[in-house]
Amino acid sequence: MHDADPADGSWAESLADFLLQQRGVEAIRLHPEQRTVQVATLGEVDTALLQARLNEVLRALDAKVLASKPAGHPDLGPVTLSREDDGVRLQMPSCPTAPRFWKWREFEWPEPEEIEARSREEWRAMAVQAAICGVALLTGYLLEKFGAAPAYLSRFLFGIALVSGGWDAAKDAWENLRERRLDVHFLMLAVAAGAVAIGAWEEGALLLFLFSTSGALEHYVLHRTHREINALTKAAPKLARVVLADGNTESRAVGLLRKGDLLQVRPAELFPVDAVITRGETAADESTLTGESVPVDKGLHAPVYGGTLNLWGLVEARVERPATQSALAKIIGLIQTAQHLRAPSQRFTDRFGTNYTLLTLATVLTMFLVWWLALGIPAFITTAEVKSAFYRAMTLLVVMSPCALVLSIPSAILAAIAWGARRGILFRGGAAIEKLAEVQVVAMDKTGTLTEGNLRVAKVESFPPGREDAILQLAVTLDAHSNHPVARAISRHAEERGIAPGELLEFESIPGQGLRGRSAEGVTYVGRRELVGQGDFASWLKDVPDAPLGFSEVWVLNAGAMGRILLKDEIRSGSKAVLQALAAEGVLTVMLTGDRRAAAVQVAQELGVADVRAGLHPEDKVTAIREFTAQGRKTAMLGDGVNDAPSLAAADVSIAMGARGSDAALEQADIVLMQDKIEKLLSARHISRCARAIIRQNLAISLGSVVIMAIASLFGLVPLTLGVLTHEGSTVVVCLNSLRLLFVREPDKPKA
């Protein structure tokens, strides 16, 4: 039951869906004017991932929309909506005592430009702090070494270095201490303080200089990723021109658009949301989605995508999806979510948090007591011959701190995500980046993946002959409501013939089979031979020859007419070269298709596919994928249609072709090849291999330095200065090594 003052459904429903989908989230408060978001959680919640998913919803909902006067009575299911003084609150059903146990957390309001600017300011501020620390440290060292100034002046400069180098670490350590957590920032400050306590000012300053430098490098990698996201979000328009019933137009916030609204889009304007052209024709620049600047012709019934540019025509388009569900919004969400999804190896380094910090402190304290009480080493007095127990403990604390280890994987993953986003390859998390390099089998759909998917109608047949136009009219009536490549080809052919779709009373998509609909002509089926080959038609269909080799067939069955449409598809220009490159790497290539075996074999032979499995339903594709995984072979699935979604979910790595692929495929994909080019699979695999190599190098550097230096420190063989240089030097090296991924050259286009 809803309160008396409900909000407009176009955004309230999106927020209600968010609440229902997020485990552990109980309520959400929005204060648009203050631009604050608060979320009530219960139990353990991954706050970083929650922020990314919250951004997906809020990004499309401008603050003015949320602050506007509520209207309508949206159905929010079990979610209760109420207005507060300066905002709105949505709440899951709960018992009266439950809110006492909620933990309210404040999240950032997703302003891409502000986030990018803030990340830029953060890494620059940290770089300035590191620079001040370095200059003060070097000046103080030179003055002390050459005796050019009083000792107190060198100490003063070392103090400046300590403050500037430890400022950011102190803020982070304080925030963690308030939440009763210890981390590497606390360890670094403890070591610096300990170094000062024993008179090793320059060693403490050197430690914080290197630590702040590595932190600036880490934030620079994060900034580069934010910059790639912002390049996409800048393409999202805020207002749309809606065509009213009387023919006039009004401006409306994009967040308030609903499915079915009619929009007018003028030349040189951006399409506000995903829509379908209902009047006029034009061409669109879809480079924001695909990276390809070649204009794409848009005629009647052609799909257009939010954030793409209308080049020259005045058109009207019917909204297909609200802004929160547009292809652009999903892509931005994929990138943001990817930053917070951990890779398998990253979970290994996650263990080095509070528990490891406590273990390190306990080890250092134990060794201090052993050196002092058991071995008789002076506790705090250091001489030229003997280093004190406290000095040795500080050295051990430095070398055991896991800074480099903690940064070794996320820095490489972020750099790889940024590299891919700039080249039209979207990775949905670190796991996809690591696993793709290990893939041994690549399974692919045929239509729209190995082939162009730009089918053209070659012939329309009716049984008996003479009703070809009726067959085409029945087919386009259903296909006008589908985004499948076959449906688009039939709709395009019908438009060229001047045959308009009829009005549908019912519509249903049957995954892997076809479409079912009811119109004035009765119930119509459009799809595979198996869909119509039931009952009395089964025996009759046996006498109808298969479609000629190289052609696909779509059957149309209605009480008043029966026939089929023959279509021809073209093989993608890069498919053969990609398959040859994969074979050269020892990867098994498999075609999984619902088409007839003869047509599938012909394409496979031309391309060099190692294994062909044709006539498959969606569940058959899943069985094939599981067969390979059961053999212990890492398997990737490459597809673009609704019928590919189950097999994409079953694969170790799922790859969707293009942002224009089906929503189901996009939702299941670990990797999205934005430019609709199969060659990008090799680019994705290349950066995956490079990232995996960088991660292994980083782990070897970080773990190796910790183990070797810790053992040496136990025997008192490592001076504090060397321990600082080795530990923080390895951290800087790890960050710089990860940054190399940003400059990896994309592999040359393979030649068949």
Q: Pairing relation of β-strands 504-510 and 282-285? A: unpaired
The conformation of residue 270, written as its DSSP 8-state character, comes to B
Q: Which two three-digit tokens encode residue 164?
A: 């500037």
Cα 519 from Cα 522, distance rounded (Å)? 5
Q: What stretch of H or E contains 297?
A: strand 296-298
Residue 32's Cα: distance from chain center in Å?
A: 26
Give all strands of the β-sheet with 561-568 in edge-to-edge order. Answer: 456-462, 561-568, 551-558, 522-527, 514-519, 504-510
Cα 138 from Cα 202, distance rounded (Å)? 9
Nearest to 350 by CA among 402, 391, 415: 402
Q: What is the SS3 assignment for 446?
A: helix
- For residue 224, what are the CA distances in angstroms to 117, 220, 411? 11, 6, 11
Contacts of 50 (CB under 8 A, 6+ apart): 22, 25, 39, 41, 107
Q: Pairing relation of β-strands 296-298 and 303-304? A: unpaired
Query: Cβ atoms within 10 A of the Cβ of 573, count?
Result: 13
| Residue positions annotated with a catalytic role | 445
Query: Cβ atoms within 10 A of the Cβ of 563, count?
Result: 22
The half-sphere exposure of 105 on its side-chain side, counting CA atoms within 13 A, is: 20
The neighbouring-strand residues paired with 88 are: 30, 83
Cα 433 from Cα 427, distance rounded (Å)? 7
Contacts of 558 (CB under 8 A, 6+ apart): 474, 521, 522, 523, 524, 525
